[in-house]
């Protein structure tokens, strides 16, 4: 069983995000990037399923510029067998990316499309869903547990009321939630080995995808600065302060 | 301070990212508890092995992860130091000085029996050289190992032994021959050898690292546990010192950097006289002076690390690097404390612990004075 795992290059979670002075976006030049943490979880899950013998081949895939190769190398160090780089510089529309991923999934004849539930840069939470829709496949998003059995996947999701279990026929799209697993530490020998694994470079045109217009960012602004706190001396003062704010 | 460098490539940075995550998750939240307990848990060694941290720089035949240069060790030290505790590095990495002689000159049997389980995180190793009667004077150590059939009978004592209380295996310097450096050998002594007793030592810093005095009373050690050839231990010990000193310098640099980062953050957030501390020129100048020394230490560290990675043995330069890094740390930690003011004097602040732990670095692995003397000799003075 082949699995395609989508990995996105995003600004590292440790970076203090700064908005560009002209409001056109956030500063990404010279800022540390790494694999979107939710995609790491998806990657880890695929590798575990391969270790259990449920998956035979893992293909990591990314859409983006030349620097995305680093992200693919990390995926290969995790345990992906090979990678596909849909190499496109500049801003990429989410729907165009989803179309390209869907085309690659189809071309590979994979059974499972794994991705993180969302990327921590724009938190759009839509790629998995769009891929499923474009390919008319069942989807199980926000997975906290995944079991593959024959041509079915059983996926547990954490919902407000508790746990929901879905059974989906394969091929299917599965997106990973935070508590699905704890990604492993990449070991140096695996990091070294990853350099020798093949990366197949594709493009929108090679996959038959025409980039379309879509979202336009009109303005980016920083959240309001936190105002200075006050120090209270007694519980009474605290209660009075909370009441004053209408919080009690 | 991540920047393009001739010494660090993407692999180093990827390894750094993994080490950072490991330290943030498994080490930093537990420092206070371990400092109070006076030791780190064995479980940490296992976790560090599973994460591929313990094995870096050791040969594959011993269960290690071979790396093309010493910079990986520097990266690991820098990341471990971010926890703000020298004790963790000393305790978790005591095999970093205990195993190299076994891996370089030990028999395949010794490597399989002692190096591998340690690199798998199942056992703990310590190096035992210093004696109550002298430390750096290795040539005149007094612990005796008398041959008796297939065994050595070891009598004597060792002190200031890092991980000495917990160690399962002790790489121990003993006198097998006559006086002087030509009579010194290294043997591996197992922790449960009858006749071995241990006393814990209470310390100013490195509190989560256990330190011991060891007593050997007619300890019978198999001759097969000899590391390398009999009476040839001195050279192995000296070569081992070189790498230890570079790593101590890396530690000093890394802690100085933590002090600088902490002082910078504090100066930005602390308000006095109605403005942030950093808005005072005197504080900014202090920070620049700290950074200036930090940059110089780093340049020196990277260059010497490069030379040693390229099979040079610049002993004088290593000695001077260790002194430069450690005295710079003393200076920088002192300034960081000054920026912190009263807050830096409180237990629990990183700079408070680092300040207490500066001295061990100017003493351990060869004191300032010993380093200067050795450098002077090497430079032909």
pLDDT of residue B17: 92
- On whether both B205 and B241 belong to a single domain, the answer is no
**B5 domain-assigned:** no
Q: What range defines the domain where residue B162 resides?
A: 125-233
**B3 domain-assigned:** no
Res. A38 pLDDT band, cuts 50 70 90: very high
pLDDT at A174 over 50: yes
CATH code where residue B208 lies: 2.40.110.10
User: How does the average pLDDT of chain A come out, rounded?
Assistant: 93
The set of residues, in sequence order, having a beta carbon less than 8 Å from that of A205 and lying 6+ positions away, is none
The residue of chain A nearest to residue B60, with distances taken between CA atoms, is A189
Output b/e per residue, A121-158; b: 16+ Cβ within 10 A.
eeeeebbbbbbbebbebbbbbbbbbbebeeeebebbbb
**Contact assignment for B51 to A191 by CB distance below 8 Å:** no
- On whether both B260 and B219 belong to a single domain, the answer is no
A16 touches chain B (CB under 8 A): no
Beta strand B151-162 with B211-222 is antiparallel
**Which residues on chain B are in Cβ contact (under 8 Å) with A191?**
11, 14-15
- Is the Cβ–Cβ distance between B138 and B129 less than 8 Å? yes
Compute the C-alpha angle B371/B375/B379, nearest 5°.
Answer: 175
- On whether both B188 and B250 belong to a single domain, the answer is no
At B297-309, the pLDDT tens digits run 999 999 999 999 9
**Contact assignment for A34 to B21 by CB distance below 8 Å:** no
Better-predicted residue by pLDDT, B356 or B10: B356
Q: At what angle do helices B71-81 and B10-22 cross, to 10 degrees?
A: 30
- On whether both B352 and B246 belong to a single domain, the answer is yes
| Three-state DSSP class for residue B165 | coil
pLDDT at A204 over 60: yes
The residue of chain B nearest to residue A31, with distances taken between CA atoms, is B2
CA–centroid distance for A78 within its chain = 15
Compute the C-alpha angle A93/A95/A99, nearest 5°.
Answer: 120
Tell me the Cα Rg of chain B.
21
pLDDT of residue A231: 86
**B204 domain-assigned:** yes
Q: Of B119, B151, B183, which closes a domain?
A: B119
At B47-61, the pLDDT tens digits run 999 999 999 999 999
* A 18-77 residues inside an 8 A Cβ radius of B: 32, 34, 70, 73-74, 77
Res. A230 pLDDT band, cuts 50 70 90: confident
**Contact assignment for B10 to A189 by CB distance below 8 Å:** no
- On whether both B215 and B299 belong to a single domain, the answer is no
**Residue B377 to chain A, least CA–CA distance (Å):** 39
pLDDT at A187 over 50: yes
- On whether both B196 and B153 belong to a single domain, the answer is yes
**Residue B154 to chain A, least CA–CA distance (Å):** 40
| Residue A234 CA: distances (Å) to CA of A231, A240, A244, B293, B356 | 9, 10, 15, 46, 36
Enumerate domains of chain A plus CATH numbers: 2-221 (3.40.50.620)
A187 touches chain B (CB under 8 A): yes
At B238-274, the pLDDT tens digits run 888 888 999 999 999 999 999 999 999 999 999 999 9
CA atoms within 13 A on the CB side of B142: 10
The set of residues, in sequence order, having a beta carbon less than 8 Å from that of B368 and lying 6+ positions away, is B323, B326, B327, B362
pLDDT of residue B3: 53
- On whether both B143 and B155 belong to a single domain, the answer is yes
CATH code where residue B300 lies: 1.20.140.10
pLDDT over 90 for what percent of chain A? 80
pLDDT at A164 over 90: yes
Question: Average pLDDT in the B183-212 region?
Answer: 96
| Residue B13 CA: distances (Å) to CA of A184, B17, B19, B79 | 17, 6, 10, 11
- On whether both B275 and B372 belong to a single domain, the answer is yes
pLDDT of residue B138: 87
Measure the CA–CA gap between B186 and B197, rounded to whole angstroms.
19
- On whether both B164 and B113 belong to a single domain, the answer is no
pLDDT over 70 for what percent of chain B? 99
Element (DSSP H or E) covering residue A60: strand A57-64
**Which residues on chain A are in Cβ contact (under 8 Å) with B15?**
188, 191
The residue of chain A nearest to residue B12, with distances taken between CA atoms, is A188
At B192-203, the pLDDT tens digits run 999 999 999 999
Question: Average pLDDT in the A112-141 region?
Answer: 95
pLDDT of residue B196: 97
- Counting one residue from chain A and one from chain B, the pairs whose CB atoms sit within 8 A come to 34
Q: Of B233, B255, B271, which closes a domain?
A: B233
**Residue B188 to chain A, least CA–CA distance (Å):** 29
Q: Does the global pTM surpass 0.95? A: no
Better-predicted residue by pLDDT, B94 or B138: B94
Q: How many domains does chain B have?
A: 3
| Three-state DSSP class for residue A4 | strand
CATH code where residue B29 lies: 1.10.540.10
Tell me the Cα Rg of chain A.
21
Which of B52, B76, B276 is the mutation pick for testing A, counting most A CBs within 10 A?
A: B52
| Residue B81 CA: distances (Å) to CA of A216, B85, B254, B256 | 44, 6, 6, 10
A200 touches chain B (CB under 8 A): no
The pair of structure tokens assigned to B16 is 């750094």
**B221 domain-assigned:** yes
- On whether both B131 and B190 belong to a single domain, the answer is yes
pLDDT at A216 over 90: no
Measure the CA–CA gap between A56 and A108, rounded to whole angstroms.
13
**B32 domain-assigned:** yes
The set of residues, in sequence order, having a beta carbon less than 8 Å from that of A55 and lying 6+ positions away, is A1, A2, A3, A46, A49, A112, A148
pLDDT at A137 over 80: yes
**Which residues on chain A are in Cβ contact (under 8 Å) with B1?**
none
pLDDT of residue B1: 40
Measure the CA–CA gap between A77 and B186, rounded to whole angstroms.
39
- On whether both B240 and B373 belong to a single domain, the answer is yes
Closest to B305 measured CA to CA, from B78, B126, B20: B78
Beta strand A172-176 with A112-116 is parallel
Closest to B357 measured CA to CA, from B371, B374, B336: B336
At B162-175, the pLDDT tens digits run 999 999 999 999 99
Question: Average pLDDT in the A231-236 region?
Answer: 91
Q: Of B233, B265, B282, which closes a domain?
A: B233
- On whether both B77 and B138 belong to a single domain, the answer is no
**B181 domain-assigned:** yes
The pair of structure tokens assigned to B7 is 């010494």
- For B18, the closest of A73, A186, A189 (CB atoms) is A186
- The number of beta carbons lying within 10 Å of the beta carbon of residue B292 is 11
**Contact assignment for B56 to A188 by CB distance below 8 Å:** yes
Q: What is the dihedral of CA B174, B179, B183, B189, to 10 degrees?
A: -10
**Residue A221 to chain B, least CA–CA distance (Å):** 23
A10 touches chain B (CB under 8 A): no
pLDDT of residue B34: 96
pLDDT at B186 over 60: yes
């Amino acid at each position: 069983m082949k699995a395609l795992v989508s990995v996105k290059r995003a600004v590292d979670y440790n970076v203090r995000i700064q908005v560009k002075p002209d409001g056109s976006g956030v500063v990404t030049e010279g800022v540390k990037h790494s694999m979107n943490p939710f995609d790491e979880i998806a990657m880890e899950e695929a590798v575990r399923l391969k270790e259990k013998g449920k998956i035979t081949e893992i293909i990591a895939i990314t859409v983006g510029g030349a620097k995305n190769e680093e992200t693919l190398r990390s995926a290969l160090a995790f345990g992906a067998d090979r990678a596909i780089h849909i190499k496109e510089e500049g801003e990429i529309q989410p729907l165009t990316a989803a179309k390209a991923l869907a085309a690659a999934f189809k071309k590979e004849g994979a059974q499972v499309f794994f991705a993180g539930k969302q990327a921590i840069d724009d938190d759009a939470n839509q790629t998995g869903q769009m891929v499923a829709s474009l390919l008319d496949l069942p989807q199980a998003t926000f997975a906290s547990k995944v079991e593959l059995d024959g041509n079915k996947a059983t996926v547990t999701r954490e919902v407000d009321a508790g746990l929901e279990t879905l059974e989906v026929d394969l091929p299917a799209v599965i997106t990973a939630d935070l508590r699905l697993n704890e990604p492993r530490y990449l070991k140096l020998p695996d990091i070294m080995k990853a350099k020798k694994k093949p990366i197949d470079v594709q493009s929108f045109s090679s996959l038959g995808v025409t980039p379309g217009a879509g979202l336009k960012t009109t303005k980016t602004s920083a959240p309001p600065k936190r105002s200075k706190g006050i120090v209270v001396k007694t519980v009474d003062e605290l209660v009075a302060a909370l009441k004053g704010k209408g919080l009690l | 301070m991540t920047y393009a460098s001739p010494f660090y490539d993407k692999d180093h940075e990827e390894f750094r990212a993994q080490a950072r995550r490991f330290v943030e998750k498994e080490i930093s939240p537990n420092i206070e508890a371990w400092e109070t307990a006076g030791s780190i848990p064995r479980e940490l060694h296992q976790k560090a092995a599973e994460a591929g941290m313990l094995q870096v720089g050791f040969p594959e035949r011993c269960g290690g992860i071979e790396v093309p240069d010493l910079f990986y060790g520097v990266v690991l030290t820098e990341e471990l130091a971010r926890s703000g505790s020298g004790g963790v590095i000393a305790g978790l990495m005591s095999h970093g000085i205990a195993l190299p002689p076994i891996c370089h000159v030990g028999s395949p049997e010794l490597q399989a029996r002692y190096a591998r389980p340690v690199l798998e995180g199942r056992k703990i190793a310590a190096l035992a050289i210093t004696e109550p009667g002298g430390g750096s004077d290795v040539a005149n150590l007094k612990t005796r190992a008398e041959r008796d059939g297939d065994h050595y009978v070891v009598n004597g004592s060792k002190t200031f032994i890092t991980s000495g209380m917990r160690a399962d295996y002790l790489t121990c310097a003993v006198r097998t021959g006559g006086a002087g450096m030509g009579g010194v050998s290294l043997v591996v002594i197992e922790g449960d050898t009858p006749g071995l007793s241990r006393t814990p030592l209470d310390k100013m810093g490195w509190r989560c690292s256990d330190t011991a005095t060891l007593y050997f009373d007619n300890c019978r050690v198999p001759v097969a546990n000899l590391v390398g050839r009999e009476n040839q231990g001195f050279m192995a010990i000296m070569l081992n010192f070189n790498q230890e000193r570079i790593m101590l310098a890396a530690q000093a640099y890394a802690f100085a950097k933590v002090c600088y980062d902490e002082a910078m953050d504090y100066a930005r957030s602390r308000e006095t006289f109605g403005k942030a501390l950093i808005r005072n020129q005197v504080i900014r100048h202090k920070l620049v002076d700290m950074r200036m020394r930090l940059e110089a230490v780093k340049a020196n560290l990277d260059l010497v690390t490069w030379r040693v990675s390229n099979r040079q043995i610049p002993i004088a330069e290593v000695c001077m690097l260790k002194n430069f890094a450690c005295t710079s740390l003393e200076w920088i930690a002192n300034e960081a404390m000054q920026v912190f003011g009263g807050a830096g004097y409180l237990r629990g602040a990183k700079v408070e612990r680092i300040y207490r732990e500066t001295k061990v670095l100017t003493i351990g692995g060869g004191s300032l004075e010993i380093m200067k003397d050795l450098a002077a000799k090497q430079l032909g003075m």
